[in-house]
Amino acid sequence: MASNRPAPEATLPPYGVPNDTDAFGAGEGTWEEWNPTAESVRPVRGRHRVAKQRGGIGRSSTVLGVGVIAAVGAGGIATAQDKPRVSISLPDAIADSLPDAESLPGVGSLMSDDSDTTDLATAGEAVVAAAPLTSAGVTTADAQQGTTDAGEALRARILQQAEQQQDAADAEAKEAAEREAAEKAAAEAAKQQSAAEDKAAEEKREAEAKAAEEKRKAEEAAAAKAEEERLAKLAASYAMPLSSYTISSTFGQAGSMWSSGYHTGLDFAAPTGTPLKAVHGGTVKSAGWSGSYGYHTVIELEDGTEVSYSHQSSIGVSVGQKVSTGEVIGRVGATGNVTGAHLHLEVHTPGGDGIDPAAWLRGKGLSV
């Protein structure tokens, strides 16, 4: 083990007496080899200390400096950029027992291969640059120039976080606005689609109603045409009993002149002697005098309907005779219970019920 110079004993002068020796009273005397032992080392206490070495930085100072800078960079509560460099040396007995700085995790990469010492400022810059907490929002130029500290870094980090939060809020607001606009557009599109569907449905209903109406009209027209054809065909086989006449009394008309209290037929007023024609072909069922009816003729049609002609002045057919449509069967008169010359026409169903002769004639295609 290397030897150090022996520590001189202190010989302080009395108070107030000048002394030419140094702080330890050594003066400029000669030095002898001194090997420290347990007995010789123990008294070296009190005001006597080993003189600090100046100039170089050992491995131990590098390790301690890097640890300080790493702690400052990780916590963000102090900075070593503006602090003066500190050199620490230890006796060789302690220094030799320390581990190699290059073998420490995270430190060996900061040291060069050809040098056992690393500049404290360079290591500090590397650690600060790698510390995300204190370097947030700090430019590289600021870090290199040392114009920032932990407070400034924290302020920059807070501002950066505030800006990020504001950006996130703006992005969220923008996304919400876009989502609202999309929902509004979708609702408007759905509304327009619904309106279009309603309009199409309404147009369809109108078209169907129009088609149904046209169909109904066509059917009615066809039915009217068929009825017209039927009536025309019937009219060819039916005829009015008089060619010229005036309706003087209608069916069902009330009055004291009729024994039943109402009129049971249809009266055609015409001059006496006007020819009477068979309304439709049939067989003469009766012909002769019939009390209040005067001269009276009844013709039975093929379907059993009976048509009677009353108040005739003369009868031109006999019972059992076949007659055809429009054939003259007698003449207008004023016989029986009458007030003037006219034809009293009655129509009875096969069951014997009296019906309105005017309606029956119209049903046969004749105009009364």
CA angle 235, 237, 240 (to 5 degrees): 60
349 closest CA partner among 309, 310, 304: 304
pLDDT at residue 125 in the model: 47
**Are the CB atoms for 343 and 241 separated by under 8 Å?**
yes
H-helix or E-strand spanning residue 150: helix 150-237
Tell me the CB-side half-sphere exposure of residue 55, using CA atoms within 13 A. Answer: 2
**Are the CB atoms for 283 and 314 separated by under 8 Å?**
no
**Exposure class string for 205-243: b at 16+ Cβ within 10 A, else e:** eeeeeeeeeeeeeeeeeeeeeeeeeebeeebeebbbbbe
pLDDT at residue 252 in the model: 85
Q: What is the DSSP string of 199-227?
A: HHHHHHHHHHHHHHHHHHHHHHHHHHHHH
How far does CA 361 lie from the centroid of its chain?
A: 69
pLDDT at residue 256 in the model: 65
**Are the CB atoms for 73 and 154 separated by under 8 Å?**
no
CA angle 166, 171, 177 (to 5 degrees): 125
C-alpha span between 357 and 347 (Å, rounded): 6
Q: What is the pLDDT along the chain (368 residues), one digit of tens a residue?
A: 445 555 555 555 555 555 544 444 444 455 556 666 655 555 555 454 544 444 444 444 454 454 545 444 544 544 445 555 555 555 666 556 666 666 665 555 555 454 444 454 444 444 444 444 445 455 666 666 555 567 788 888 899 999 999 999 999 999 999 999 999 999 999 999 999 999 999 999 999 999 999 999 999 999 989 888 887 787 778 999 999 999 998 998 887 676 667 889 999 999 999 999 999 999 999 999 999 999 999 999 999 999 999 999 999 999 999 999 999 999 999 999 898 999 999 999 999 999 999 999 998 888 88
How far does CA 165 lie from the centroid of its chain?
A: 33
**Are the CB atoms for 192 and 185 separated by under 8 Å?**
no
Percentages (nearest 5) of helix, strand, coil residues in the chain: 40, 15, 45
Q: 90: which residues sit within 8 A by CB, 6+ positions away?
A: 58, 60, 98
Q: What 3-state class would DSSP assign to 14?
A: coil
Backbone angles phi, psi at 280, to 5 degrees: -150, 160
Burial class of residue 329 in the structure, from the number of CB atoms within 10 Å of its CB (0-12 exposed, 13-18 middle, 19+ buried): buried
Backbone angles phi, psi at 101, to 5 degrees: -65, -30
pLDDT at residue 228 in the model: 82
269 closest CA partner among 359, 367, 343: 343
C-alpha span between 359 and 368 (Å, rounded): 9
Burial class of residue 199 in the structure, from the number of CB atoms within 10 Å of its CB (0-12 exposed, 13-18 middle, 19+ buried): exposed
Q: Is the pTM of this model over 0.75?
A: no
pLDDT at residue 22 in the model: 46
Tokens of 169: 């809020």
